[in-house]
Amino acid sequence: MAAGFGAYTADVKPADVFPGADRFGPMEGTPPSRPAYKGDQLAGYVFRTEDIGYSGKPIKILVGMNLDGLIVGAKVVEHHEPILLVGIPPQKLFDFVDRYVGKNLIQIGKAGTKTNVDAISGATVTAIVINDGLMRTAMAVAKSRGIAGFTAPVAGGANGSAAQTRTLIADVPFQSADWTALLGDGSLRRLHLLNADVDEAFKKIGVGRAGPYGREGPPEAQFIDLYMGLVTVETIGRSLLDPQTYAALRSWLKPGQAAIVIAANGEYSFRGSGFVRGGIFDRIQLAQGDITVLFKDQDYKRLGAFAGRAPEFDEIGIFRISNVAFDPTQPFRLDLLAQRPTGPVDKAFTNFSLDYRLPDRYLKVEAVAPIPASATAISTGDEANVAGQPAEEPLWLKIWRSRAIDIAILVLSLAILTLIFFFQDILVRKPRLFTRLRIGFLIFSVVWLGFYAGAQLSVVNVLTFTNSLTQGFRWEFFLLEPLIFILWAATAAALLFWGRGAFCGWLCPFGALQELTNQIARRLGVRQLTIPFTWHERLWPIKYIIFLGLFGLSLSNLALAERLAEVEPFKTTILLHFMRDWPYVLYAVALLGVGLFIERFFCRYLCPLGAALAIPGRIRMFDWLKRRKQCGFECQVCAKNCMVQAIHPLGQINPNECLYCMKCQVIYWDDQTCPPLIMKRTGRGKKRPVASPAGSGETQPAA
């Protein structure tokens, strides 16, 4: 049954995900699962994934898997995902899980089939978590139970146990081979797709022809003609690369690392544009067993052409495989992701796989000593470590690695902002430089931080964090969004120094958008409205009332509080680029429209996130904004120029409302604007000496 907006719980029984089974055994083993029986015959296992999702709570999915590794059923048992936060209805979550039924996750993991799961659809944290959890848990169940081609682990090695072996790359003498020979013996593998092949693949998932990547093409046209080979094998590498390139390749790789070459012709680029924007290749990935290798720009070397009489290609790249768990002697596959738009912001994805296995002549098998019984792990989850294999890195770390470039840009921008604040007294004395610097930073916040990176903080993050403190705090959930995590950490630290102004005044994409559009309106001659201060100080508590209402509601119904947090237009404007139902768009546009006449209108009176930051911002330890004794008593210039009216008529600055734009500091040092400085510069107001009565020889001050 539904459990409020965005949350869901259901009473799902094992029989619901394993049709045909008439009885189930008890929950047992590692990972825990229940055996499913048809009569007296074991038919498979039922297990549950409980990986932490975007809400900070587990996404519980009950899964049935037969003895061949085929998923026969999958149902969402419970989730607390704020699905509406990413702009898709809850049913899409259930449809996403349903698509795993009929897929053999073990074959996919072992790279022995072209059957694929649309695992990257939506590109949300929720989808990533579900896919990672299902693949990892299914593989662990299969390995621990000895099904789907795996041999069940034994508790210890007896004296008479069979000898163990391992496969290595053989030291084969180099023998030059041409393109045809390499393709003929399997050293190179080919994936050739026409537009018609892509059309057929999308039809299977219910997507009609709309252009494979945003533009049409005839069905008989070539979509991509792609080739792949393992160039760290000497015969393959030296046959394809000239001596200088091959030598550079060997020095580029660390000991034990492998590299592949990918070459392609056709309308579709395997590189895509993700490696330019974010340093990651988002159209290709390697899969081997239960590991997935994503390529980043530092793992890529562009190649102009092959050596010898090889065909010419539109694009050729060498990719370094830095994952230490990858074994080049075992089969693997290259997944090519194709996409099609299905709506203003929705896309459908499908994968095409190219299987690869080194020819036997490059391999050798040698015996190894059996593992002693004392060193064998039993149901501890440490089997990989005992076998000498590194433990799989957590999902959040994979995401951080894939967004290394974005993280570096954000950290650099935060460092620049910190320098601006620390050297503000120097910068504000140069008004033109400071104004350009501020406008440039606001543009960065809107364009890169907001529209590109989607790093818009929300009051939902505050509600989720406080809720997690009562429900069981787990760092790995918050680490799933690296930019949001870094931005929150920086904002929390800045509260001690500058209050809410560091984020609200400089880093908030929607706030920056309001300020920039207002400045454009001013240049176009739009008349600005000034709210009388008596009304202004009665209106600004509205945002605190909104925040306290959402916070109180979140303690009993987090999902409903997240739904009502739509009072923030951030999702509509920044995350979804106005691609939503018209009421949401109308609301966001109306707020921006009012902001053309009243600067930062939403920030002043309605923003619950600003209120949430203002409350702890009261504990800031430093007061960096300078004031004069004349402020408020003899002079109102700063108060009239404050963009959010955070300066009281009596001169004091309200730290709860100050967005740290530093206009008052520019005025403070400007002897052309600040009345006390003007008087000092011109000499007005000073007492002049007057002559004493004749014959006194003294002067007297003027009255």
> 108: pLDDT confidence band, cut at 50, 70 and 90?
confident
> 694: pLDDT confidence band, cut at 50, 70 and 90?
very low
> 698: pLDDT confidence band, cut at 50, 70 and 90?
very low
Q: Check residue 80 and give its pLDDT.
A: 67
- Stretch 516-521: mean pLDDT: 95
Q: Check residue 468 and give its pLDDT.
A: 73
- Stretch 197-220: mean pLDDT: 72
**Structural contact between residues 109 and 353, judged by C-beta atoms closer than 8 angstroms:** no
pLDDT tens, residue by residue, 606-626 = 999 999 999 887 777 778 888
Q: Check residue 621 and give its pLDDT.
A: 77
Amino acid at 224: I
On whether the pTM is more than 0.85, the answer is no
Taking Cα atoms as reference points, which of 486, 511, 462, 502 lies closest to residue 655?
A: 502
Q: Is the dihedral of CA 310, 311, 314, 315 positive or negative?
A: negative
| 400 pLDDT more than 90 | no
- Stretch 655-662: mean pLDDT: 90
Burial (CB count within 10 angstroms: exposed 0-12, middle 13-18, buried 19+), residue 10? middle
Q: Check residue 678 and give its pLDDT.
A: 86
> 521: pLDDT confidence band, cut at 50, 70 and 90?
very high
Q: Check residue 543 and give its pLDDT.
A: 94
| 120 pLDDT more than 50 | no
Q: Check residue 275 and give its pLDDT.
A: 56
CA distance 700 to 703: 9
Share of the chain above pLDDT 70, in %: 81
Taking Cα atoms as reference points, which of 146, 380, 129, 120 lies closest to residue 274?
A: 120
What are 298's two structure tokens? Answer: 């530092």
Q: Crossing angle of helices 459-471/608-617, nearest 10°?
A: 60
Q: Check residue 377 and give its pLDDT.
A: 34
**Structural contact between residues 668 and 628, judged by C-beta atoms closer than 8 angstroms:** yes
Q: How long, in residues, is the chain?
A: 703
| 507 pLDDT more than 90 | yes
What are 189's two structure tokens? Answer: 């593998």
- Stretch 633-658: mean pLDDT: 88
Q: Check residue 376 and give its pLDDT.
A: 35
| 699 pLDDT more than 70 | no
pLDDT tens, residue by residue, 125-160 = 667 677 778 888 888 898 888 888 787 665 444 444
Q: Check residue 567 and give its pLDDT.
A: 92
Q: Check residue 473 and give its pLDDT.
A: 65
- Stretch 393-400: mean pLDDT: 74
| 258 pLDDT more than 70 | yes
> 246: pLDDT confidence band, cut at 50, 70 and 90?
very high
Q: Check residue 217 and give its pLDDT.
A: 72
* Alpha helices, DSSP H, located in 374-508: 383-386, 395-402, 404-422, 424-427, 431-444, 459-471, 475-478, 482-498, 501-502
Average pLDDT value for the chain: 81
The region of weakest confidence among 385-389, 415-419, 483-487, 495-499 is 385-389
Over its C-alpha atoms, the chain yields an Rg (Å, rounded) of: 32
pLDDT tens, residue by residue, 261-271 = 999 999 888 98
For residues 518 and 701, the model is more confident at 518
pLDDT tens, residue by residue, 156-184 = 444 444 446 678 888 888 888 899 999 99
φ, ψ of residue 483 in degrees (nearest 5): -70, -40
Q: What DSSP line would sit under 307-337, residue for residue?
A: SSSPPP-SEEEEEEE--TT--TTS-EEEEEE
Q: Check residue 703 and give its pLDDT.
A: 36
Helix or strand or coil: residue 246?
A: helix
| 122 pLDDT more than 90 | no
| 550 pLDDT more than 60 | yes
| 276 pLDDT more than 60 | no
Q: Check residue 686 and give its pLDDT.
A: 52
- Stretch 217-224: mean pLDDT: 86
- Stretch 43-63: mean pLDDT: 78
Residue with token string 């395997």? 270
The region of weakest confidence among 48-62, 279-293, 312-326 is 48-62
Taking Cα atoms as reference points, which of 619, 622, 591 lies closest to residue 607?
A: 591
pLDDT tens, residue by residue, 553-599 = 988 877 788 778 889 998 889 877 887 778 889 999 999 999 999 99
pLDDT tens, residue by residue, 86-100 = 445 667 778 888 888
Q: Check residue 316 and give its pLDDT.
A: 93
Q: Check residue 385 and give its pLDDT.
A: 40
Burial letters 637-671, b for 16+ CB under 10 A, else e: bbbeebbbbbbbeebebebbbbbbbbbbbbbbbee
Q: Check residue 31 and give its pLDDT.
A: 83
**Spans of all domains in the chain:** 8-145, 170-365, 401-625
CA distance 504 to 516: 14
Q: Check residue 684 and give its pLDDT.
A: 64
- Stretch 323-342: mean pLDDT: 84
Share of the chain above pLDDT 90, in %: 33
CA angle 144, 150, 155 (to 5 degrees): 45
